[in-house]
Amino acid sequence: MKALITLATALLMTLPTMATEPFTHVEPPNWWVGMRDTRLQLMLHAPGIADSEPVLAPYPGVTLKGSHRASSANYRFIDLDIAPNAAPGEITLTLGGRTLRYPLKARAPGSAKRQGFGPKDAIYLLVPDRFAQGGSGQPGGMKEGLKRSAPGGRHGGDLAGMRQHLDYIAGLGFTQVWPTPLVENNSATYSYHGYAATDFYKVDPRFGSNDDFRAFVAEARTQGLGVIQDIVLNHIGSGHWWMADLPAPDWLNAWPQYTETHHARMTLQDPYAAPSDRKRFTDGWFVPGMPDLNQRRPELATYLTQMTLWWIESAGLSGLRTDTWSYSDRDFLSAWSARIMQEYPRLNIVGEEWSPHPAVVAYWQRGKKNHDGYVSHAPSMMDFPLQANLLAALLEEDGPHTGLTKLYEGLAHDFVYPDPANLVLFDGNHDTPRLYSVLKQDVGLTQIALAYLATTRRIPQFFYGTELLMQSPTERDDGAVRADMPGGWPGDTVNAFTSAGLSPAQRDMQAWVRRLFNWRKGSTVIHKGQLMQYAPLQGVYVFFRFDAERTVMVVLNKNAQPAVLALDRFQERIRGGEQARDVLGGKVITLGDRLTAPARSPLILEWAR
């Protein structure tokens, strides 16, 4: 009898442990009261939980709407409704002998009305692993350690390093920072780039913690900088925790044998495209190490949407850059972008649609009336067509259909876009060769490209290190393109942040970029003004930005010698006798009959209208 009592006592003593056994994953890890859409779906992951029915302890304003399992025995999806009158606090759910105390937080004041990036802004793109090391990274326990000598290895840049040099970015005149993805990429090799997530809700420890990211965003705000987060919706890394226990067999786009996307993105608009081609484009995998997600699965679509909202609200973001835009399911993208903009009507989302065709890029921008009735809610897209035209303009000989004519005609295609000023134009990015190298190490052409970037009717995005004339091979070489920022590591003999060890050409370029983008930061005529362009003649391209108060004249002279312009050609914009200031040189000149544009350089003049 005594033995039975002892056994019963022992069993009772184990019950509290069983009742509070932790869940392997609870995602999202918290939520907020006061969201416009009151629905919330929790994904709970724990051994054998699939058949456990949840019970919600009474909580004013919170209702348990239902729950269901998928195929795996280890997932339960719980649907809640959080009414507008619900107060912050902690709700309690019990299921399967487990208790979940789930936080509902108050939103930051003005969160829903946050202002996203737009034409007033200039974006500085950086690769966190390659920018600066500040001590927040914790590489222990990760599959890949640090090896700075390897071009494709982890070099050790982290959030603390980025945070320490926000003043440098702001000082250059930029108002937004876009780091490539920071979420965990726990792969054995080539993990630094960030586009193969293994945990959507966790900053990679080699960069720091979620709190380090929030501190980075908060510090950026004090420097006048917004932060754009890079979101990947199309695929995950093969080391993602889902891969050991998929919620359902159709969680991924599966094929009888491994099938890679053929990147034929135009199949989505092509009225003659074979359905099998469309399927291979969207459902094919990027590489074997990047499983393709099936966003047609309702729980996954909800998961990705809530994950995006969680980062915006949790970190205080000013915008999103969405990787490999059109590779995701297009109906999902429509619903996803609608939900994001419903919660944050003034936020901005820029999608990566790597196409040279304006009609293809325009298809995905909010407000476009498409031939097939497709509706997108993404305000912005990356302007790959105009970027390609800019490079061609500076590399090709000028002719009726070549050289500067391509840039002129490329901008003329703005009639296909519902909101061309909200497109993001870039000098380069982490996937393209360095601008200075593509332009054959010609400083003049590089400055022409950047002047165009800063003054045309777009949101400019600048790739870190361009201000230092950083170089790379002209064919794709990711490790070289994403080289370390000089001065970001202890012991660096060259330091971009202090200018120590820079060559005279690098110092001049850095100072020139600082003048250009700090001027742009305060130039409302560039942010909001109209644009009028004149067809290129004899290697010179001229356009104007203007409003009711100011006029800016931009002259891009590609020639190896100065060009003399007859100003009567521009009579729609120049009356004559205006006192114009050279924005980059500082001189004041009187506009008469002729204007001399310096050789192989941009000239930017500004005057009161």
* CATH code for the domain of 510: 3.20.20.80
Instruction: Report d(CA 312, CA 298) in Å as an integer.
Output: 22
**Domain of residue 479, residue span:** 122-186+207-229+431-522
- Full DSSP string of 210-233: HHHHHHHHHHHHHTT-EEEEEE--
Distance of CA 7 to the CA centre of its chain: 59
The active-site residue out of 121, 230, 323, 353 is 323
Radius of gyration in angstroms for the set of CA atoms belonging to the chain, rounded to a whole number: 27
Quote the DSSP letter at residue 284.
Answer: S
What per-residue confidence (pLDDT) applies to 7?
Answer: 35
- Answer yes or no: do 91 and 156 share one domain: no
- Please write the tens of the pLDDT for every residue from 34-50: 999 999 999 999 999 99
- CATH code for the domain in which residue 591 is found: 2.60.40.1180
- Answer yes or no: do 154 and 84 share one domain: no
Q: Which single residue is written with the structure tokens 């009711």?
A: 548
Residue pair 386/426 in contact (Cβ under 8 Å)? The answer is: no
> Which of 522, 556, 591 is a domain's end point?
522
Residue pair 154/192 in contact (Cβ under 8 Å)? The answer is: yes
- Answer yes or no: do 131 and 215 share one domain: yes
Q: Which two tokens stand for residue 392?
A: 């061609």
> Which of 522, 541, 576 is a domain's end point?
522
Query: What's the total number of domains in the chain?
Result: 3
Flag whether 81 is in a domain.
yes
Q: Is 475 known to be catalytic?
A: no
Flag whether 391 is in a domain.
no
Flag whether 128 is in a domain.
yes
Model's pTM, two decimal places? 0.95
Q: Is 352 known to be catalytic?
A: yes
- Which parts of the chain sit beneath pLDDT 70? 1-21
- CATH code for the domain in which residue 75 is found: 2.60.40.10
Reported as type and span, the H/E element at residue 231 is: strand 226-231
Q: Which two tokens stand for residue 565?
A: 């312009």
What per-residue confidence (pLDDT) applies to 435?
Answer: 98
- Please write the tens of the pLDDT for every residue from 155-189: 999 999 999 999 999 999 999 999 999 999 999 99
Flag whether 282 is in a domain.
no
- Please write the tens of the pLDDT for every residue from 459-513: 999 999 999 999 999 999 999 999 999 999 999 999 999 999 999 999 999 999 9
Residue pair 166/132 in contact (Cβ under 8 Å)? The answer is: no
Quote the DSSP letter at residue 244.
Answer: G
What per-residue confidence (pLDDT) applies to 5?
Answer: 35
The active-site residue out of 283, 292, 343, 352 is 352
